[in-house]
Amino acid sequence: MDKKETQFTAATVPADYWMDAKGALIPVKLLKPIDLARDALVGEIVTKAIG
Per-residue burial over 13-47, b if 16 or more Cβ lie within 10 Å, else e, is eeeebbbeeeeeeeeeeeeeeeeeeeeeeeeeeee
Structural domain containing residue 18: 2-50
The confidence score (pLDDT) of residue 33 equals 96
Give the amino acid at 11.
A
pTM for the model: 0.63
pLDDT reported for residue 4 = 60
For each of the chain's 51 residues, which pLDDT tens digit applies?
Answer: 566 655 566 788 999 999 988 989 999 999 999 999 998 999 899 999 988
- What pLDDT is recorded for position 3? 62
Tell me the CB-side half-sphere exposure of residue 43, using CA atoms within 13 A.
9
Domain count, the chain: 1
Res 51: pLDDT: 82
